[in-house]
Every structure is written in structure tokens, then in C-alpha cells.
Chains A and B, each alone.
Chain A
Amino acid sequence: MSTTLSAPALLEQANHAAAADVPAVLRAARAEGAEQFAALGLPTTKNEDWHYTSVSSLAAIPFAPMTGDDSDLSPDALAEHRLDASWPTLVFVNGVYQPSLSDTSALPAGIRVLPLGDAVSALGDTVSRLLGSTAPASRDGFTALNASFLGEGAVVHVAKEMVIDTPVHLLYVTTDAGANGMHHPRVLMLAERHAKATVVESWVGLTEQPYFTNAVAEVVVEDGATLTHLKVQREGRGAFHVATIEATQGRDSHYVSFCFTTGGALSRSTISTLLNGAGCGTTLNGLTMLDGAQHGDVQTRIEHAQPQCFSREIYKSILDEHSHGVFNGKVYVHPIAQQTDGKQTNNTLLLSKTAQVDAKPQLEIFADDVKCTHGATVGQIDQTALFYMKSRGVDADTARQLLTYAFAADVLETIENETVRDALELVTLHRFTSLATVTG
């Protein structure tokens, strides 16, 4: 059933799948997704939002839906990526939920974490409320494509006033058995009034082969709730990774996002939130580290639709060799959104002459009483700092590595959860340095 991502073939596939044992709510969404994909297709670089990222190489590969074959999954490799084995975790191997590797028994009452298939019946109201709400199939070709293959994914439902410190982990692993496969997980997250929770989504590639992840997350953060959503993208070097996160926020809520990008041949993460209640706010931070011929694109969109909301954004990139980084930070302030307080920072460190970055802050402000700032820098290792370190006896290589790590470290420090922060600091340390540690 391999086919390139052309609309007619896709419709056939979706129709075929719809005939199988698929719940009605998903079947309807699939049909709509396939229809929308036929109309939208994949974006081209003529589309302004896709100007710097071409998906023609992705469209040329005939991907088949992944089958969940986990025969070549090493338990040790999986264990390493669990971050903390005691966390409630759903594991997806080669596109399919694996109950035997998952465990949510530690969850307290008031928070439900289910694979999408089970949630359709067990959390039917949440599914019908969220599915297609913030990311409708009409949004773009990738969202439509995701809808047309609906089936895998998860639902996280945090009941009102429920506060849970332990993160929920959604772990997606692809192995060689997933080569030339594609998967389209859909995650629905609902934090009810005054709830507080953390969700970590990890994407791990244990293969160098090409495969295609096309994920969509729909997030609702109700009044007074705080949802922390950490995305860790460590896909394989041959992977295509497209992720769309669409959040909407109620009054006095806080949506905290961190987007860590280091894998994939081509990756694109879109994180978008609608500040739709007075006094709410969002923190969107991220770190991208690329080398070789990797292409990594991060798009953020913050829509201030109500007064007295805040947004804080720090995105950093470290680009080596021939890699290409893209950052587009859109902040849209509606006329009604007075006393908006927005701050965006975007810094890129280029480690080679052939690395390339396209960074675009995009502020569209239609209210008159707002405070919105943005700053972007693109630079190389600071020669003054390098000399300072050398003048203390630290050799040039070590000094360069320390400064590279330090550039990344200050955005990683914003991750509140210590386990995730420590793990990502270590990944960062090993990405561009041969240093064992930088603590103590």
C-alpha cells in the first residue's frame, strides 16, 4: 500500500481504512481529512509560511503506514529514552501504541491518559470536544493528512483543580522496522479550570532510514490552568518530522512550551497558541541543534486576542556544517488586546561558514497600548570570551565547546522539570562537545 503523498491515492487509502473497524467519530474525521488534503495538497515554497522549507523531497518518497512491528526494538535503548521509568508513560513503537511497554497505573484519580483508540469510548466527550477544534483539517495539508489517517495518538485529560507534578510521558520510537513508514499521531490535551500538569512528548529515532512523522496536537488550557508541554525531537537522521501544536487558552491560564530539536533530516515544528482570556500568558522556548545537511524549521504563532496577556519567547539555534535553521516568530495582537506584554528573543550561533539561518520575527500589532519587543542575533563564537578562557589556560577546543554549550544552557535552564532539564543538558553537551560535564 506504498504510495507517494498524492491526493487520489491517499483518498483511496483513507476510504479503504475507513471500511475497517474504525469508530464513527474517527471515520468521519478521516473522510474530512482526505477531502481537505485533496483540496490543499502539500505546501510549496510559494506559500509564504513555507518559503524556507521545501517538502518536495518528502513528497517524492512512497511512505506506507507504519505497522507497529517492534521485533527489533532493544529494551535498553527504550529504557534510556524513558527519562524516568516511574512516570506514567504511553509508548508508541513504529507508529502504533504498545500496551505492554506502557504504564499509567501510577496516575492519580483526576487525570486520565489514554491512547486515542481507547479514549474514543472512555473519554468520548473530550474527544468530540477537542478533535478538530484547534487544528481543523482545513488548517493545512499536513493537518489534513494527519486527519485522514486518524487512529493513533493519545488523550490527556486533567480534571479541574487537579495538580500533578509528575510529568506524563508520550514516547514515540521508530526503529529500522519502521523504515519508509509514516505515522500520523493525534494528541488531544485538556487541562480543566485551575488544573496543573506537565506533558512530555519525545520523538526518538533508532534508525538512520527515512520515515515520516506527521503529528498534530490540539491543546485546551482552561481558565486558571497551567499546562507545561515539552517536545523533545530526537528523530533519526533520515527522518522527516512535521509537528503541529495548536493551543487555545482561557482567562489567567499559562501554557508553557519547550521545543527541543536535534534530529531528523528535515523537521518542522509549528507551535501556536491563542491567548483567548484576559490575563493569560504563554512561554514558548526552544533550542535547535543541527549539523550535517539537516534542515530544522520552527514556526511559532502567538495570538493575543484578549487584554492584559503576556508572552515570553526565547528560541536559540546552534548550526554546524551545512545545516539550515529556520525560525519564524509571529506575534499577532488584536485591537482589543490592550496592555499586551510580549517579548521575543531569537539567537543563532553558527559554528561553520556553510551553516545557514533564516530568522524572521513577525510582529503584527493592532492595539495601541502594548509593550512588545523582539531581538534577534546571528553570530559566531565570541572571540573575546574565547580569549578570556584561553588566557586562563583553557585550550582553544575546550573553550569553544564550553562557549557553545553555554550558549544553549541558558535557555535549557528555563525548563522547570529537573529530570527533563538534566537529560537535555546532557544531550546538548554530547551534541557538540567532548566534555563529560560542566557542573561543579
Chain B
Amino acid sequence: MLEIRDLHAAVDGTPILKGITLTVNAGEVHAVMGPNGSGKSTLAQVLAGHPAYEITSGEILYKGENLVEMEAEERAQQGVFLAFQYPVEIPGVSNAYFLRAAYNAKLKAAGKEEVDPMEFLDLVEEKLKLVDMDPAMLHRSVNAGFSGGEKKRNEILQMAVLDPTLAILDETDSGLDIDALRIVAGGVNALKRPDNAAIVVTHYQRLLNYIVPDQVHVLAGGRIVKSGGKELALELEARGYDWLLEAVA
């Protein structure tokens, strides 16, 4: 589904990613871990198409197509979804309207009929239950005045509505208490299917108790320095990152 080959990316001329190679197959969950500044979030943003990052070499193939050439909105319409580390507040645009605009954009790109507000409300009410969200939140402005936990739940709600093929969760666990973490992880697990995949970017192993990865990759200095099974995450939790960094230095 996703093939990243020797990917180099820079921001304002400063190289951040220095040769990432990663393959994610349908039905898999991959965890990307690493210390602060290792390039984890950059990788997530690059996959979503953030314009601040320049791909200097390498390629990204998504369902066999060149992802780098697609605009962010096109990637989303094709099933790529990024759950933001810091979800953006948009005062003045209601959550319900925003969700429907996103949902309809995807339908339209697939050549399907758009849904009207009533139909959409039925659909979204189902998804609200998944993340244990109050329907009243739909009528508030997108993320405006939401608590940290509410923002993250709102990200998963968007993910549930858009039903992505490739979901990238960028430190969705940071700042969450254990109850919120359970709800968020439960939402992600419920959306898992054999025909989709997820990349879970996290600093801590804690989230991986709830979202069990098929593979764990450790990023440091813009490269993957180690890959392994879920037990690698436990080892990182026990020993920290330093031993790995020393080993590759």
C-alpha cells in the first residue's frame, strides 16, 4: 500500500529526513518511535503533503502512485489521513459543516453523489459513539475551545467519518490521560480492517499497549535505525533511546 524509498526531505534548506525506506502493507499497523527531533512528525507531515517540506530525493508510492506529486487535498481524497499532533482551531466553522465538507469532497473525488446535511447527521451520529463524543460538539466551531482530549477525539471522529485507507496518527497519545487514551485507541482499533493500514507515530510505548503494532521502527537523526516486532517497543520503554543512538553513532 505504501512504499517509501530512500526519502530525503528538508525544511527551509535544512535536511530533516535523510533516507527513509519503509513498506506498509494492507492490514498492518506500524509504529514509528524515536526521541524528540528525530524526524517522526516530519515524516507524518510529509506523507500528508505539508507544503513547508521539500522532498529532495527518494519517492513515496501510495497504491502504486506517486504521492509526492499530489496536493494535500488530493491525498486526503485518495484515502490518506493525518491525525494532527496539534489539531487546529477554526473559530467560525462548525464541526458538522467541516466534517460534511470533507466527506463530500471525498465522495465527489470518487464520482459519487454528495450527501445532504440530514443524511450526513445520521452517518455522523454512529461515529460519535465510537469516540464517546457529545453530539453537541458537532455544532461548535472546529476545535475552538476544546480541551486537549476533546481535540484528539475530534481527530479520531474525523478519521472515522472519512474512513481512510492509510491513517497516520501523529503523537495522538501526547497529553492524553489514560481514559482518553483508551477511547482514542478503541476508536482506532474499531476502524482497523484487512484493507487499510495505520502508521502510529509516538514518543511513548504506552499507546502501543492499546494499539498493537505489527512492526516498530525507531527513527533517529532522520533515519530508521532499528526495526522490529512489538517487543522492540517494550525494550525501548525499559531502556530508553540512548543505547540505540550510541549503537548507531
A positions within 8 Å CB-CB of B: 382-385, 387-396, 398-399, 402-403, 405-410, 413, 438-440
Roughly how many angstroms separate A297 CA and B158 CA in the complex, as a whole number? 42
Roughly how many angstroms separate A291 CA and B77 CA in the complex, as a whole number? 33
CB distance from B160 to the nearest CB of A (A): 13
In the complex, chain B residues whose CB is within 8 Å of the CB of A405: 92-93
- Are A388 and B93 also in contact (CB < 8 A) when A393-B73, A393-B109 are? no
- Are A390 and B71 also in contact (CB < 8 A) when A395-B105, A406-B93, A440-B97 are? yes
- Are A393 and B88 also in contact (CB < 8 A) when A387-B51, A440-B97 are? no
A410→B91 contact, CB < 8 A? yes
In the complex, chain A residues whose CB is within 8 Å of the CB of B158: 392
In the complex, chain B residues whose CB is within 8 Å of the CB of A403: 90, 93
Most buried by A among B71, B73, B87, B93: B73
Is B201 an interface residue when CB atoms closer than 8 A count as contact? no
- Are A388 and B88 also in contact (CB < 8 A) when A393-B73, A393-B102, A440-B100 are? yes
A394→B73 contact, CB < 8 A? yes
Roughly how many angstroms separate A388 CA and B81 CA in the complex, as a whole number? 11
CB distance from A159 to the nearest CB of B (A): 39
CB distance from B203 to the nearest CB of A (A): 21
Roughly how many angstroms separate A393 CA and B162 CA in the complex, as a whole number? 9
Is B72 an interface residue when CB atoms closer than 8 A count as contact? yes
In the complex, chain B residues whose CB is within 8 Å of the CB of A392: 76, 98, 101-102, 105, 158, 162
Roughly how many angstroms separate A395 CA and B82 CA in the complex, as a whole number? 16
B positions within 8 Å CB-CB of A: 48-51, 71-73, 75-77, 81-82, 84, 87-94, 96-98, 100-102, 105-106, 109, 117, 120, 141, 158, 162
In the complex, chain A residues whose CB is within 8 Å of the CB of B82: 391
From B72, B90, B97, A439 is in contact (CB under 8 Å) with B97
- Chain B minimum-CB-distance residue to A402: B93
In the complex, chain A residues whose CB is within 8 Å of the CB of B72: 387, 390-391
- Chain B minimum-CB-distance residue to A385: B88
Roughly how many angstroms separate A391 CA and B141 CA in the complex, as a whole number? 18
From A387, A389, A440, B117 is in contact (CB under 8 Å) with A440
- Chain B minimum-CB-distance residue to A407: B92
- Are A438 and B93 also in contact (CB < 8 A) when A393-B109, A398-B101 are? yes
In the complex, chain A residues whose CB is within 8 Å of the CB of B73: 390-391, 393-396, 399
B102→A406 contact, CB < 8 A? no
7 smallest A-B Cβ distances: which pairs?
A: A406-B92, A440-B117, A393-B76, A409-B92, A392-B102, A393-B105, A388-B88
Some 8 contacts from A to B, beta carbons below 8 A apart, are: A392-B76, A392-B102, A394-B73, A394-B105, A395-B105, A396-B73, A410-B92, A440-B96
In the complex, chain A residues whose CB is within 8 Å of the CB of B84: 388, 391
CB distance from B120 to the nearest CB of A (A): 8
- Are A408 and B92 also in contact (CB < 8 A) when A390-B76, A393-B73, A393-B105 are? yes
B101→A394 contact, CB < 8 A? yes
Roughly how many angstroms separate A366 CA and B91 CA in the complex, as a whole number? 36
CB distance from B135 to the nearest CB of A (A): 13
- Chain B minimum-CB-distance residue to A438: B97
In the complex, chain B residues whose CB is within 8 Å of the CB of A409: 91-93
B96→A384 contact, CB < 8 A? no
CB distance from B199 to the nearest CB of A (A): 15
From A384, A408, A438, B88 is in contact (CB under 8 Å) with A384
- Chain B minimum-CB-distance residue to A435: B101
In the complex, chain A residues whose CB is within 8 Å of the CB of B117: 439-440
In the complex, chain A residues whose CB is within 8 Å of the CB of B98: 389, 392, 394, 402
Roughly how many angstroms separate A399 CA and B98 CA in the complex, as a whole number? 10
Roughly how many angstroms separate A410 CA and B90 CA in the complex, as a whole number? 10
In the complex, chain B residues whose CB is within 8 Å of the CB of A389: 90, 98, 102
**What would 9 more interface pairs be, CB under 8 Å, given A392-B158, A393-B106, A405-B92?**
A382-B88, A387-B72, A389-B98, A391-B76, A393-B162, A402-B93, A408-B92, A438-B94, A439-B94
In the complex, chain B residues whose CB is within 8 Å of the CB of A388: 84, 87-88, 90
In the complex, chain A residues whose CB is within 8 Å of the CB of B120: 440
- Are A391 and B49 also in contact (CB < 8 A) when A398-B101, A402-B101 are? yes
CB distance from B155 to the nearest CB of A (A): 10
Roughly how many angstroms separate A439 CA and B81 CA in the complex, as a whole number? 24
- Chain B minimum-CB-distance residue to A412: B92
- Chain A minimum-CB-distance residue to B118: A440
- Chain A minimum-CB-distance residue to B109: A393
Roughly how many angstroms separate A393 CA and B102 CA in the complex, as a whole number? 5
CB distance from A336 to the nearest CB of B (A): 38
CB distance from B229 to the nearest CB of A (A): 30
In the complex, chain B residues whose CB is within 8 Å of the CB of A398: 101, 105
